A = this chain, B = another copy of it.
Amino acid sequence: MITSSANQHIKEIRHLRDRKCRSETGLSYIEGIRIVFEAIKQKVEILEIIYSPELSKSTTINDIIKQAGLQHIEISEVSKPVFEYLSNKDGPQGIAAVIRQKWIPLENIKTNGDVWVGLYEIADPGNLGTIMRTCDAVQAKGIILIDNCTDPYDPSAVRGSMGGLFSTKLCKTSSEQFNQWVENNKVRVIGTSDQAKVDYRKITYPIGMVLLMGSERQGIPETLQKICKDLVSIPMKGSCDSLNLSVATSILLYEILAKYEENLEK
**Chain A residues close to B by CB (< 8 Å):** 38, 41-42, 126, 130, 133-139, 160, 162-164, 167, 201, 234-240, 242-244, 246-247, 250-251, 254, 257-258
Contact = CB atoms under 8 A, between A and B. Distances in A.
B244 A136 contact: no
A133 B243 contact: yes
B133 A244 contact: yes
A234 to B, nearest CB: 7
B239 A41 contact: yes
B133 A240 contact: yes
The A interface is mostly helix, strand or loop, or mixed, namely helix
A244 B41 contact: no
A130 B234 CA distance: 16
Given A247-B247, A251-B250, A254-B251, A240 B136 contact: yes
B41 A139 contact: no
Nearest to A200: B254
22 contacts: A38-B239, A126-B126, A133-B244, A134-B243, A137-B234, A137-B236, A137-B243, A138-B238, A139-B237, A139-B238, A160-B244, A163-B239, A163-B240, A164-B238, A167-B238, A201-B258, A243-B250, A246-B247, A247-B247, A247-B250, A250-B251, A251-B251
